[in-house]
Amino acid sequence: MNRSEASATADASFFLPFMRLEQKANSLSCGCMKLHRLDTEQWLPLSVRDAWDFFSIPENLDRITPSDMSFEILTGAGERTFAGQIITYKIRPLLNIPMRWVTEITQSVEGEYFIDEQRFGPYKFWHHVHRFTEKDGGVLMQDTLHYALPGGILGELGGAFVHKKVRGIFEFREEELNRIFPH
């Protein structure tokens, strides 16, 4: 049993989104796509309400994204996160080459979690779960990201750069959040 199955077994009602993810991943993984996973946790001295208020505003994503990505929201700003929301970005992840990235907030339970999935963009597959849990007088934020690279085996051969970039984005976010919300 893998970690996702163990989690889903522990509390099936909360982890239904992950079981659907596993079904999606299994249907896509036909030997032609490798699915990568990144898990992060960060505690912040905020209430769940304050954390949700910050993270449910798409414009705040720019504040916690490295400047070398030249991140710009084109559509979907100005509203709090909701299921069905489409957000379009322009990013420059490599050699300052602009790319459009379209994500959809597929699920959102206020104060608990939301899920964004790529509809069009640089990845073959992108599924990102953001969870917020009250802990030790603050909030524990947990992210589970599943992603796959485009280009099949050639994409995987050059993937070390992308994996490093993805980890770097999350490391930058952690540093920025600690600066914005010092403990």
pLDDT in tens, 37-73: 999 999 999 999 999 999 999 999 999 999 999 999 9
DSSP annotation of 43 = E
- DSSP letter, residue 121: S
| Residue 5: inside a domain | no
Q: What is the pLDDT of residue 1?
A: 39
Decide if 79 is inside a domain.
yes
Does residue 33 belong to any structural domain of this protein? no
Q: What pTM did the predictor assign?
A: 0.82
Inter-residue contact 47 to 72 (CB < 8 Å): no
Give me the pLDDT at residue 31, please. Answer: 59
Q: What is the pLDDT of residue 158?
A: 85
- pLDDT above 90: percentage of residues in the chain: 75
- Digit-coded pLDDT (tens) for 84-127: 999 999 999 888 899 999 999 999 999 999 999 999 999 999 99
Confidence of residue 23 (pLDDT cuts 50, 70, 90): very low
In a domain, 118, yes or no: yes
Residue with token string 């084109």: 74
pLDDT the model gives residue 32? 66
* Residue 6 falls inside a structural domain: no
Number of structural domains (the chain) is 1
Cα distances from 74 to residues 78, 88, 99, 122, in angstroms, run: 11, 5, 12, 16
Beta strands in the chain (DSSP E): 36-44, 72-75, 86-94, 97-109, 113-120, 125-135, 138-148
Report whether pLDDT(21) > 70.
no
Task: Read off the CATH number of the domain in which 44 is found.
Answer: 3.30.530.20
pLDDT of residue 81 exceeding 80: yes
Burial of residue 51 (CB within 10 Å: 0-12, 13-18, 19+) is buried
109 and 126 in contact (C-beta within 8 Å)? no
4, 23, 92, 129 from 12: Cα distances, Å: 11, 15, 38, 16
DSSP state of 82: -
In a domain? residue 151: yes
More confident site: 26 or 122: 122
- For residue 90, the model assigns a pLDDT of 96
Domain with 94 in it: 39-180
148 falls within a domain: yes
User: Is 103 exposed, middle or buried, given 0-12, 13-18 or 19+ CB atoms closer than 10 A?
Assistant: buried
Asked if 68 and 96 count as a contact pair (C-beta separation under 8 A), the reply is no
Q: How far out from the chain centre does Cα 58 lie? A: 12
The residue among 172 and 29 whose pLDDT is bigger is 172
In a domain, 153, yes or no: yes
